[in-house]
Amino acid sequence: MNSLSSLLVLVSGLLIFSGACYLVGTKRRPSVLAAYLVLLPLPVLISVCAGTRVLISSLTIIAASPNVSVTTADIAAAAADSLLSLFVALLVSAPTYFVLAIGLLLRTLRSPTDSATPIPTRSERPAPLLSSNGPVPATS
């Protein structure tokens, strides 16, 4: 597993997890928690990009040197290394998913009176712009 991509996977996973814990702890609206789910696959995407880069460079080297014999053990080792990176990224992303899912479920099930910021409602009906006496002047 490439050390730079592993470091990026771990750092991004930790940052996303700490952000998710902060959002759940500060009792944000469910829409904020749902929008934060967009960042969840970032460690997996970093791992997939790193694995693809390693695969492309390996295949380029094999294609450039026709006298090199590649054994199935070499191919299996490269595939296992690539899948290990992806597995680590999934393990790093899993706790964040559970924190956000539980936080989103709790915020959604909470009654509207318990929400952090109440939604303002307008009880009076707006005056019509035209009346029988002519147009009503605009007021602020």
Interatomic CA distance for residues 80 and 97, integer angstroms? 25
The closest of 85, 117, 93 to 38, measured between CA atoms, is 93
Run means of pLDDT, 10 residues per run, the chain, 140 residues: 79 88 81 81 88 82 82 82 86 89 82 55 63 62
Map out the domains of the chain as residue ranges.
Answer: 3-112
Interatomic CA distance for residues 102 and 21, integer angstroms? 11
pLDDT score at 116: 54
pLDDT score at 63: 81
Q: How far is CA 75 from CA 61, 62, 78, 127, in A?
A: 13, 11, 5, 75
pLDDT score at 70: 80
